[in-house]
Amino acid sequence: MAEEKPIPLAQIRAWFFDLDGTLMDTDDQTVESLARRLRFLGATRAQRLGRRLVMASETPLNGAMTLLDVVGLDAVLMGLKGAVARQNRPTFRIIDGVKPLLEHLAAHYPLAVVSTRSRADSEAFLQQHELSGLFRLVVAGDTTRRLKPHPEPVLFAAQQLGVPPAQCVMVGDTPMDTLSARRAGAWAVGVLCGFGEEAELRRTGAHWILPSTADLLARVQSYSSSVSG
């Protein structure tokens, strides 16, 4: 990987996390569902095409949500999504190694979820994996008027926790997470366990890029050890 930009961990006072592809691997569940529908192409081609379709949909979908918000129709769409979700509540998977990371961070910092998912889905995931007590705040897709990549969700989380954005880190797997963080004046960590690619995460200003969210634990533990030592 190319040279990283240093994040001054001594100055960091709060950590924010995206959900899909960052704490939960629901993107992979979506790919698997699409691959089953495309199985007539053959298993390998179906899996590859399913992944590309999910990757291609993320930015346009969030852009569409932002446009609907501008014209005042976002509440209607969120209501429809909520109704569908209540009829078909998914079982959320957690990315390996994420829980120890969150437990370590929560012992030293306030944590927030900053996601475009509904509050119901966000809280269901946290409850399912016994993470609710680790997070002080959930900023969901229906919390703020603007969605990522707009800075408002990150700015809102920082304000609610009483921490300047410049002392917050946003961790996410897509350029929308990185852009939201950078536009808010926060630090950005990109992870490759979701659907973002290294080149686009770097292009949108990620300070660190890690193979998985779980790899962040070694970074913060190393810093903690150096301070205590």
CATH code, domain carrying 215:
3.40.50.1000
Q: What is the spatial distance between Cα 33 and Cα 31, in angstroms, rounded to a whole number?
A: 5
Provide the pLDDT for residue 223: 86
Between 17-31, 52-66, 125-139, the lowest mean confidence (pLDDT) is in 52-66
Structural domain includes residue 66: yes
In a domain, 5, yes or no: no
Q: How confident is the model at residue 163 (pLDDT cuts 50, 70, 90)?
A: very high
pLDDT of 71 > 90? The answer is no
Q: Are residues 135 and 216 in the same domain?
A: yes
Choose one of 87, 110, 129: the last residue of a domain.
87
- Which pLDDT belongs to residue 25? 82
53 pLDDT above the threshold of 60: no
Q: Looking at residue 43, what is its pLDDT?
A: 61
Same domain flag for 219 and 177 = yes
Boundary residue ending a domain (52, 87, 122): 87
Q: Give mean pLDDT, residues 139-160.
A: 96
Domain for residue 178, yes or no?
yes
Q: How big, in percent rounded to 5, are the helix, strand and coil portions of the chain? A: 55, 10, 35
Query: How high is the pLDDT of residue 3?
Result: 62
The rounded percent of the chain whose pLDDT value lies above 70 is 69
Helical H segments across 137-189, by residue range: 152-161, 175-184
Same domain, 143 and 72: no
Q: Kindly report each contact of residues 76-82 with a partner whose C-beta sits within 8 Å and lies 24 or more positions away, as own/partner.
A: 78/118, 78/141, 78/142, 81/118, 82/118, 82/120
Same domain, residue pair 125 and 136: yes
Confidence of residue 86 (pLDDT cuts 50, 70, 90): very low
pLDDT band (50, 70, 90) for residue 68: very low
Number of domains in the chain: 2
Average pLDDT for 202-220: 96
Range with the poorest average pLDDT among 26-40, 54-68, 86-100, 201-215: 54-68
Q: Which of 55-59, 71-75, 134-138 has the lowest mean pLDDT?
A: 71-75
Q: Is 2 helix (H, G, I), strand (E, B) or coil?
A: coil
Q: Is the pLDDT of residue 184 over 60?
A: yes
Domain range for 76:
28-87
Same structural domain for residues 50 and 142?
no
18 has a pLDDT exceeding 60 = yes
* pLDDT score recorded for residue 30: 56
